[in-house]
Amino acid sequence: MNPKDIAKMIDHSILHPTFTDKKLKQECEIAVKYDTASVCVKPYAVKAAGEFLKGSDVLNSCVIGFPHGNSLIAVKVFETQKAVEDGAVEIDMVVNIGKVLGEDWDYIQQEIAAVVEETHKGGAILKVIFENDYLPEDRHKIRLCEICSDLNVDFVKTSSGYGFVKGENGTFSYKGATDFDLKLMRKHAAPRVQVKAAGGVRTLDDVLRVRRLGVSRVGATATITIMEEAYKRFGG
């Protein structure tokens, strides 16, 4: 392993709702400094991120239907079209979680098929976000992996990073990318479909651990922490 291998696993996440344009620029500069795989930004920020990333190898990625996946299929397709027109080459779409829990698989198949068609038509790749914290039954995650495999989705992804589950006492909890779910997704997705871990990947050891489970990308906000530790441990 070397720091570049680690950096090229990271989609640097710039998605917090409070982030300003100034913060967007600062975070893109962090991604360029460490040469991450991509930045993952909100739809309105794609054009600006493209300007900040000019001259680098960092890819421009955009979230769709974020974070709860509730948009109409047509809206997700339109968001995807606009994001690609604005310069996104990777799309991270949240699936309709309620439809998954209701096991309306025809709807889910139509939704993913429509977005993957629009994404690939524009020369971009698609990552489908399951939001596993909302899916307590393994069968839902397995069926999603099967559908994504059949439709030639490029990545299956654990979480948005914002899927907080409200408990009976009113408090919110969040697990994000668990080892169990990553193993399950790697097992049931086709070999050509890559796995992205998002939510709770905050250290170099976290990255190395999920890599051993078959993960090829991670969504992270702790890029500085991860990369500085990578330089210390591997040199460079």
Catalytic sites, residue numbers = 92, 157, 196
Cα distance between the two ends of the chain: 11
Question: What is the Cα–Cα distance from 20 to 99, expressed in whole angstroms?
Answer: 33
Question: What is the Cα–Cα distance from 115 to 117, expressed in whole angstroms?
Answer: 5
Cα-to-chain-centroid distance, residue 5: 18
Residues 6+ apart with CB under 8 A from 114: 73, 76, 77
Q: How many CA atoms lie within 13 A of 219 on its CB side?
A: 31
What string of DSSP letters covers 207-228? HHHHHHTT--EEEES-HHHHHH
Give the containing element (helix H, strand E) for 60.
strand 59-64
Residues 6+ apart with CB under 8 A from 121: none
Question: What is the Cα–Cα distance from 14 to 220, expressed in whole angstroms?
Answer: 9
At residue 76, the 3 state secondary structure works out as helix
